Amino acid sequence: MWWMMNENGGHYCSKKTDDDICASVCGGQDSTRMSRIRCILRGLDLKVLIMILVLVPTCVYVAYAHGQKITYFLRPIWEKPPKLFHEIPHYYHDNVSMKNLCKLHGWGIREYPRRVYDAVLFSNELDMLTIRWMELYPYITQFVILESNSTFTGLPKPLVFANNRDQFKFVEPRLTYGSIGGKFKRGDNPFFEEAHQRLALDQLIQLAGITDDDLLIMSDVDEIPSRHTMNLLRWCDDIPKILHLRLKNYLYSFEFLVDNNSWRASVHRYESGVTRYAHYRQSDDVLADAGWHCSFCFRAINDFIFKMKAYSHFDRVRFRYFLNPKRVQKVICKGSDLFDMLPEEYTFKEIIGKMGPIPHSYSAVHLPSYLLENADKYKYLLPDSLSGKLAVYLNRLLKSAYLLNAALTITIHPFQVPVISSSRGEFWLRTEYSSIQVHFRVSTTGCLVIAYRLFELQSKKKFARKMFIFLSGKKNAYSLTNHLE
């Protein structure tokens, strides 16, 4: 029997000193390294090899392309949620006296209001800064602003505020402005540069004349406390020394309401030698419904791309195509995430609930008053609440026209003449600016794209008189103003 064979009687060897099975089977100690590898592979099944060749590259690609999503989705397993805030209910109505409002919050009323200082680091958010300062203007003692000629990521940038200072003459008597040179060290941790600038802002605040028990607002430009919130805090006594503000969290415009959980903005009762400007959690107290946070709320696509490259979380730009203007435009109009990330939440329920594009909001109630008073100028920030009659009319008109299997795309951008391009030529629609404003649905960044695949209609005679637009390959113009319902 084979188990009774001696050492020389067969291929099987039971000697404990001979552990090289492949050497025994495939040629002994003289086998080359390649022959050993072939020997090992000879023992593997072909299906297993194919599976390995397919599975390994696939796993590598998935980890490379979607590793961040995987880690974010599994976040509830490896990271516990932070300590809950102590939520302070927020009471307000125009017809309620300040004394009663303070009483409702459990605070007393002061004989005179505190002074309020608003301090921000500025990059390039001119529109948001205007809306912020106009909202807070009645109650701010001094506006403090610091900008750098470098981004947090070390990119050079112009002094945008200094170059546009004439737009802010309304705050000039109460303005303390400073600029700081950047380090221009690409590859350094951007949070170091951010901390460096916040330290410089501390010094600028002191130069502005702040004293003990004055209120200091610490927040980014796009984190805007509401006017009545600041009036409440400056009149009420015994408010917390450090109070975070719970803000409604918007993305791209006030059309996309993410949640009500923005909390990094804070108000401090200033203490010399103690208070330091920071943008992280510094207290357990948070005041509910205290304003708005409109993140990545820009007018132009270039501004979106600039911020993606400039702010502290540049590492989220994992691929170069993330910065492609067409992709950025498409993502914004859908309300999706610019960085293709999952929500930063701590429970599977919240992560799954927030996955996908942000639902559109059609409410413009309780937004900053200056924004609504100047809706024509800032319509790209407002919800898509216009009537859409022009879009409906174009849809009906084009579908009723006699067009032969032509693929068209209608694209309308704000402040531009609408252009229609087709596979058979290009022509223009001439419309009045007021008509676009009143009758056209303008989405978040002012983009509305309607794609049509039009085929020959059967009822030619019925719509012959409505043939206002021709695909002749030439530029034609027709005013739709008189045809709007």
| DSSP letter string, 357-395 | SPPB----TT--HHHHHTTTTTGGGS-S-S--HHHHHHH
Predicted pLDDT of residue 189 = 76
Residue 381 Cα distances to 18, 31, 376, angstroms:
78, 74, 10
358, amino acid identity: I
Residue 307 Cα distances to 45, 48, 323, 427, angstroms:
53, 48, 10, 35
Supply 370's token pair: 């200056």
446, amino acid identity: G
Predicted pLDDT of residue 10 = 46
Report whether pLDDT(45) > 80.
no
Predicted pLDDT of residue 70 = 77
Predicted pLDDT of residue 291 = 97
d(CA 118, CA 101): 23
337 vs 10, which has greater pLDDT?
337
**Within the chain, what is the greatest distance between any pair of CA atoms?**
109
DSSP secondary structure, 100-126, as one string = HHHHHTT-EE-SSPPPEEEEEEESS-H
Predicted pLDDT of residue 427 = 31
Per-residue pLDDT tens for 272-304? 999 999 999 999 999 999 999 999 999 888 899
Specify the pTM. 0.71
Question: Given CA atoms 359, 364, 365, 368 in this order, what sign does their dihedral have?
Answer: positive
> Which residues 6+ apart lie within 8 Å of 371 measured at CB?
131, 254, 378, 381, 382
Per-residue pLDDT tens for 156-185? 899 999 999 999 999 999 999 999 987 766
Give the number of other Cβ atoms within 10 Å of residue 126's Cβ. Answer: 19
Mean pLDDT lowest among 187-191, 394-398, 421-425: 421-425
Comparing C-alpha atoms, which of 196, 123, 121 is closest to residue 157?
A: 123
Per-residue pLDDT tens for 69-123? 778 778 888 888 889 999 999 999 999 999 999 999 999 999 999 999 999 999 9
Per-residue pLDDT tens for 252-269? 999 999 999 999 999 999
d(CA 335, CA 341): 13
Report whether pLDDT(26) > 50.
no
Comparing C-alpha atoms, which of 301, 292, 258, 291 is closest to residue 446?
A: 301
d(CA 327, CA 329): 5
Radius of gyration of the chain (CA): 32
Predicted pLDDT of residue 369 = 95
Most confident of 50-59, 292-301, 328-337, 415-424: 292-301
Question: In degrees rounded to 5, what are phi and psi of residue 415?
Answer: 65, 20
Predicted pLDDT of residue 212 = 96
Q: Using CB atoms within 10 Å of the CB of residue 95, give its burial: 0 to 12 exposed, 13 to 18 middle, 19+ buried.
A: exposed
12, amino acid identity: Y
**Do 295 and 325 contact (CB within 8 A), yes or no?**
no
d(CA 95, CA 437): 34
Predicted pLDDT of residue 430 = 32
Report whether pLDDT(315) > 60.
yes
d(CA 405, CA 402): 10
Predicted pLDDT of residue 219 = 96
Per-residue pLDDT tens for 369-418? 999 999 989 988 998 643 333 444 444 444 444 343 344 444 444 333 33
> Which residues 6+ apart lie within 8 Å of 43 measured at CB?
none
Report whether pLDDT(22) > 80.
no
Mean pLDDT of the chain: 75
**Do 270 and 229 contact (CB within 8 A), yes or no?**
no
112 vs 24, which has greater pLDDT?
112
Where on the phi/psi map is residue 209: left (φ > 0), alpha (ψ -120 to 50), or beta? Answer: left
253, amino acid identity: S
Comparing C-alpha atoms, which of 262, 232, 266 is closest to residue 119?
A: 266
Comparing C-alpha atoms, which of 313, 354, 272 is closest to residue 152?
A: 313
Predicted pLDDT of residue 37 = 63
Average pLDDT estimate for 298-316? 85
CA torsion 198-268-142-273 (nearest 10°) is: -60
Task: Give the pLDDT band of residue 468 (cuts 50, 70, 90).
Answer: very low
Q: Please give the DSSP secondary-structure letter assigned to residue 401.
A: S
Pairing of strands 247-251, 266-269: unpaired
Pairing of strands 175-180, 253-262: unpaired
Where on the phi/psi map is residue 289: left (φ > 0), alpha (ψ -120 to 50), or beta? Answer: left
In the chain, pLDDT over 70 holds for what percent of residues?
A: 67
390, amino acid identity: L
Supply 229's token pair: 């919130």
In the chain, pLDDT over 90 holds for what percent of residues?
A: 41
**Do 318 and 298 contact (CB within 8 A), yes or no?**
no
Predicted pLDDT of residue 35 = 67
Per-residue pLDDT tens for 151-162? 888 888 999 999
